Structure 1
Amino acid sequence: MMHLVKDQVKADARAEFGAARIARTEALVVAAARELFLEHGYAATALTQVARRAGVAPRTVYVRFGTKAALFRRVIDEALVGDAEPIDVAHRPRAQDAMTAGTLAERLDALADVAAGIADRAGALLEVAAQAEGAEPEIAEAAQSGRRETARLCREFWSRASLDGLIQSIMDTGQLANTTDALLCADTMVHLRRVHGWSHAEYGRWLREALRTLVAAG
């Protein structure tokens, strides 16, 4: 029996070591890919270049990620939340504050913080994604899925605010959600970066004021 326990412990240790090694390798590849996508854009970046920058064999990149589109999506996903943990934006602490804080002002500030954080971590990559959508159906679908999720979160935000008695009953939550969606969506972030050269901090200040104005106007 003792031998069986020891064998299991060794097997678990080997599995843990292997998982840690895979995680380190993937982190190197994702970091290298992020650098190259930002330096050269999507079309001009090849997986062989990513492998070279990461210091791994090209086959490793193909085995772990499969396609350039899949790797780019991984880069975007990690940039959106700030790490490799499998927890989406909606379930991060600041996003939860936006849904549960005691006052509407606190919720709006949290919502603005979430969007500004995304602009900081992923704003430049979202520009790359916008360029890649026309050529890569997988990226186009992922971008559209992200737009739908943003719209859903905006509807949930105002629905909860209404249920919690934080807005007047006469206010149109559907209209509030649609306008908030237009303010928060990735396309707006990209537009403001391209046309006005705004930083994430400028975007965050503008968004916070726009959300407050939206409520005051309602």
Structure 2
Amino acid sequence: MTSVKGKAPNRRTVKARETRTRMLDAARQLFVERGYGATTLADVAEAAGVAVQTIYFTFGNKRSLFKEMVDVTIAGDDEPVATMDRDWFRAGIDAPTAPEHLLAHVAGSARVLERVAPIVRTVEQAAGSDPEISGLWPDADPRYTVQSTAARSLMAKPGARPGVSAADAADVLYSILSPELYLLFVRDRGWSPERFEGWAVSTLRAQLCAEN
């Protein structure tokens, strides 16, 4: 990654980032395998090959580490770029027609679902054991916010299905592109991620796009 001024990061910066990534990877693995409550920062430090003080210095506490792990898993990297500012989301927003928007949106959402699906139960269990976990994300349901924004844009474009409101479209996107449904098909029923993506495109096109 280059800096704001376009200069390559120095060796110390690169090493710090690699260490941060290693800690997040270790945290993800342990939180999924053992659960949030049973995982200590000492466990994460040992798995990452760092001192526990490094965990505290970098993330502050266990809740902050957990939030960062979830956010990085959703984004796919640790760049400070919100979901709706990501290239895949903007590609849909910038698409000229509803079918093109839908294709780009499902493709991007499918990549997110592949990353997020393994931690869904971990997040639910963590929120159940620690009430403050849910408060780490100020938006009550950030996933719905993303789908609602996409729906308003999509349904205002040529090729959108007449009579379908943006609110209804948001509900459909939110349901079809949910981690729960993804897990049902891919994990429980053995579908490939590619098959799920194709099914999601055809199903959403039938619901949200005008008939040709």
Q: TM-score, normalised by structure 1?
A: 0.79
Query: Does structure 1 residue 149 correspond to structure 2 residue 142?
Result: yes
Q: CA-to-partner distance for each residue in 1:35-85, whole Å, 9 max, x for gaps?
A: 222332222221101101111111111121122221121111111111111
Higher mean C-alpha deviation, range 123-132 or range 166-175: 166-175
What is the CA-CA distance between 1:168 and the residue it aligns to?
A: 4.9
Q: Specify the alignment match of 2:69 in structure 1.
A: 75
Q: Which residue of 1 aligns with 2:204?
A: 211
**What stretches of structure 1 move > 6 A for 4+ residues in a row?**
none
* Conserved? CA contact 1:112–1:204, under 8 Å: yes
**How far apart are residue 209 of structure 1 and its match?**
2.3
| RMSD (Å), alpha carbons | 2.8
Q: Which residue of 1 aligns with 2:166?
A: 173
Q: Is 1:95 paired with 2:95?
A: no
* Alignment deviations for residues 128-158 of structure 1 (CA, whole Å, 9 cap, x no partner): 112211112233234683x632222222223
Gapped runs of 5+ residues in structure 2?
1-6
Q: Give the secondary-structure state (helix, strand or coil) at the position aligned to 2:39.
A: coil
1:8 corresponds to: none
Quick check: which has more Rg, 1 or 2?
1
Counterpart of 1:107, as a letter, is H
8 Å contact from structure 1 (residues 150, 184) kept in 2: no
**Counterpart contact for 1:162–1:168, Cα < 8 Å:** yes
TM-score where L is the length of structure 2: 0.81
Residue identity matched to 1:26:
R
Alignment of 1:159-198 (within 5 A): 159-168=152-161, 170-190=163-183, 192=185, 196=189, 198=191
Q: Does the Cα contact within 8 Å between 2:88 and 2:104 map onto a contact in 1? A: yes
More off after superposition, 162-171 vs 88-97: 162-171
The 1-side partners of 2:93 and 2:30 are apart by: 36
Q: Which residue pairs with 2:102 in the alignment? A: 108
Find the aligned partners of 2:60 and 2:68 in 1 and give their Cα distance.
Answer: 11
Residue 134 (str. 1) matches residue 128 (str. 2): yes
Question: Percent identity, aligned pairs only?
Answer: 26
Question: Are 2:92 and 2:102, in contact at CA under 8 Å, matched by a contact in 1?
Answer: yes
Is 1:27 the counterpart of 2:25 in the alignment?
no
Unaligned runs of 5+ in 1: 1-12
